[in-house]
Structure 1
């Protein structure tokens, strides 16, 4: 067990304060904030004590109360490990071919999205120009009617 996981496993016979802390940690930062606000509403020293505890224990500014280990770091490590050769030549060839195919599909999909954006931009611009031309024509016709 790591130090972080020991911190978030409930002790065998916790007191009510530890149980409350564990319960709030399981629900995350919003639960701590709601508890602090309710503490300020019912008896302001409780709210102030919760705020001080949240700042002192780094619950206020941390990523998450449940898991202090960065998910981004874990995902980065997992992605990095996926690129390392496995030692099996056939599997590595299959993996390289699959990754190349996925990159080609991603590139063609991004090209497709770009063409869609360009088509949408062109249709919006054409609509703008049509409206502008119609307004100019209407104003010109309106001016001709007033002169007559």
Structure 2
């Protein structure tokens, strides 16, 4: 007799392979590469199998990094809702403008700090020269 469950939240426990894969994915690409290298060191067919799996499942070449170029490409993707896309574009434009203004502000702060340090150096040098000539 088979029992059929109607609970939509029920899911059978995943296999140890699925749990291992999820564990490795949670640790990132570095964990996969380390496992592959260790596989090659201890038992080369295991390393080769991991390399084949990583290549086949696109784990080796997928970039999940948050680089500026890839995040901008994702942000320019259309949702199909013109009002939302216009709002998103306007918000991104304002954020980029704020970022540019902040970077300009930081540059002015660096220049002011450099100028203050240089002025302090010149004042100390002038005082040193003045005491040397008076002595």
Q: TM-score, normalised by structure 1?
A: 0.50
Asked if residue 83 in structure 1 is aligned to residue 76 in structure 2, the reply is: yes
Compute the displacement of 1:83 (Å). Answer: 0.7
Instruction: State the alpha-carbon separation in 1 of the partners of residues 64 and 74 from structure 2.
Output: 15
**In the alignment, what sits opposite 2:126?**
133
Compute the displacement of 1:87 (Å). Answer: 1.3
Q: Mind listing any 5+ residue stretches in structure 1 that lack a counterpart?
A: 11-24, 30-49, 59-66, 143-148
Q: TM-score, normalised by structure 2?
A: 0.54
Highest RCO, 1 vs 2 (Cα 8 Å, sep ≥ 6): 1
**Residues 105-148 of structure 1, C-alpha deviations (whole Å, 9 max, x = no match):** 11111111111011101100100100110110111111xxxxxx
Root mean square deviation, CA, Å: 4.1
Instruction: State the alpha-carbon separation in 2 of the partners of residues 74 and 135 from structure 1.
Output: 50
Structure 1 stretches of 4+ with a deviation exceeding 3 A read 67-70, 73-79
Which structure: greater helix fraction?
A: 1
Q: Select 1:120's aligned residue among 110, 113, 120.
A: 113
Q: Mind listing any 5+ residue stretches in structure 2 that lack a counterpart?
A: 1-16, 23-29, 49-58
Asked if residue 106 in structure 1 is aligned to residue 106 in structure 2, the reply is: no
Label 1:73 to 1:120 Cα distance change in 2 as closer, same or farther (>3 A).
closer
**Residues 29-74 of structure 1, C-alpha deviations (whole Å, 9 max, x = no match):** 5xxxxxxxxxxxxxxxxxxxx6x718x649xxxxxxxx74443389
**In the alignment, what sits opposite 2:41?**
53
